Amino acid sequence: MIIFAVMIDSFYSLRMHSSLKGQHLSGAEGIVSFESLEGETLAMLHRALTHERGCATRIALHVESLAPQDILEGPIPELSTIEVDDVAQGRRAARALLRQEGVSPRAIDRAMQDLAAGAASPGVNMRGAMLIDAATGQRLEPDPCRGIRVSRMDLRASGKALVFEALKQFGAARLRVKEALVLAAKVQAAPAVVAELCWSDDPSYVTGYFCSRTLGYVRITRLKEPGEALGGRVFFVNLQGRVKEELIEFLQRQPFWVTGVPRIHPPRPWRDE
Ligand code: PML
């Protein structure tokens, strides 16, 4: 009886990574209760088996119990959308936002070239994210094939319905958007991170985003061409004496709840200066 009482109060980090013939296919993250662990595990398995790029040939599921007192928390970013006419304009918009956060042109060029060409190696996506020095443009992740996988984060169960309701009003009530927002929230909780840029490696998904603590989560309606299967994430960092390994440890291992409901701004068209 006592053992059961402990279990029902517990949380679990649930992580999935799938690959197809040796190449990264998909990943998913969650912090789930004891009661929802089985259902959520099956849902992640289903995702790996029904991915638009094919059925996974290898699926790794990791389940690990978490002590509730070890879970930090931070706010969900506010959300806005920039509407652009085409990829070139979308990337100009992303560049302007990154410049606003002080990311150097060299770092932006490095990020965009590597996202477009394959961050792991030419034509090959990375499983995690790139870490790029916001001033020098130098890639900092210890394993450039693997990258940094942000892990062990979720919305608190009590706030999930409210966040989905807010996303619905925004026309973005999709699991993909919720997951990207949660990941971006944790990334922005790391003081060394200046900004994030992401476009999907799923061929049919062309909307990407920029995120920073000051400007929030900014969706950009086109950051790549339909059919393009190369993409990923970049975290621009300014270490300023901070220890890189501690940043990586935080991003990869620190359990993190994302709290609150995002403030939403109406979509606006991008105007080049
Ligand atoms: C991904 O799922 O591959 C990244 C998705 C980023 C875009 C999310 C959004 O539409 O806001």
Confidence (pLDDT) at 3:
47
Residue 20 in any domain: the answer is yes
Over residues 191-214, the mean pLDDT reads: 96
The answer to whether residues 125 and 38 belong to one domain is: no
- Please state the separation of Cα 268 from the chain's center in Å: 23
- Residue 115 near residue 231, CB atoms below 8 Å: yes
**pLDDT band at 8; cut points 50, 70, 90:** low
CA of 177 to the centre of ligand 1 (A): 6
- Note whether residue 5 is domain-resident: no
- State pTM to two decimals: 0.92
Among 126, 204, 207, which is best to mutate for testing ligand 1, by the most ligand atoms less than 8 A from CB? 207
Q: Tell me, yes or no, whether 6 lies in a domain.
A: no
For the purposes of burial, counting CB atoms within 10 Å of the CB of 88, is it exposed (0-12), middle (13-18) or buried (19 or more)?
exposed
How many domains does the chain fold into? 2
For residue 5, the model assigns a pLDDT of 46
pLDDT at 126: 84
Task: Note whether 95 and 167 are same-domain residues.
Answer: yes
Predicted confidence at residue 1, as pLDDT, reads 45
Closest C-alpha among 107, 102, 105, 99 to residue 139? 107
135-171 in b/e form (b: 16+ CB < 10 A) is bebebbbeeeeebbbbbbbbbeeebeeebbebbeebe
Residue 126 in domain: yes
Q: Strands 216-220 and 58-66: what pairing?
A: unpaired
Task: For ligand 1, say whether the CB of 209 is within 6 Å of any of its atoms.
Answer: yes
User: Could you tell me if residue 211 is inside a domain?
Assistant: yes
Ligand 1 center from residue 204 Cα (angstroms): 11
Closest C-alpha to ligand 1, atom 3 = 200
CA 181–ligand 1 middle distance (angstroms) = 9
Verify that 121 and 238 share a domain, yes or no.
yes
- Taking only the tens place, the pLDDT of each residue in 35-82 is 999 999 999 999 999 998 899 999 999 999 999 999 999 999 999 999
110 and 40 within one domain: no
Q: Which of 17, 83, 198 to mutate to test the pocket of ligand 1 (most atoms within 8 A of CB)?
A: 198
- Given a contact cutoff of 8 angstroms between Cβ atoms, the answer to whether 167 and 81 are in contact is no
Same domain, 61 and 141: no
Angle at 127 between CA 123 and CA 129, to 5 degrees: 95
pLDDT of 9 reads 64
Pick the last residue of a domain from 24, 48, 70. Answer: 70
Give domain status of residue 2, yes or no: no
Q: What is the DSSP letter of 262?
A: -
**Residue 96 CA, ligand 1 centroid: distance in Å:** 20
* Last residue within a domain, chosen from 70, 95, 113: 70
Task: Identify residue 54 by its one-letter amino acid code.
Answer: G
Same domain as 117, residue 54: no
Residue 6 has pLDDT above 70, yes or no: no
CB 32 within 8 A of CB 257: no
Residues 192, 235 contacting (CB under 8 angstroms): no
Cβ atoms of 220 and 118 closer than 8 Å: no
Q: What is the DSSP letter of 68?
A: G
Summarize pLDDT for 106-164 with one digit per residue, the tens. 999 999 999 999 888 888 888 899 999 999 999 999 998 889 999 999 999 888 999 99
* Residues 58 and 81 placed together within one structural domain of the fold: no
Q: Are residues 231 and 121 in the same domain?
A: yes
| Domain contains 93 | yes
Residue nearest to atom 7 of ligand 1 (CA): 208
Q: Distance of CA 72 to CAs 105, 149, 189, Å?
A: 34, 18, 10
**Shared domain check, 89 and 29:** no
198 & 259 share domain: yes
Average pLDDT across the chain, whole number: 93
Whether residue 195 is found in the same domain as residue 254 = yes
Q: Which residue, chain included where needed, has tokens 């339909």? A: 226
Same domain, 150 and 253: yes
Helix (H) or strand (E) segment spanning residue 174 = none
Q: Which domain holds residue 176?
A: 73-269
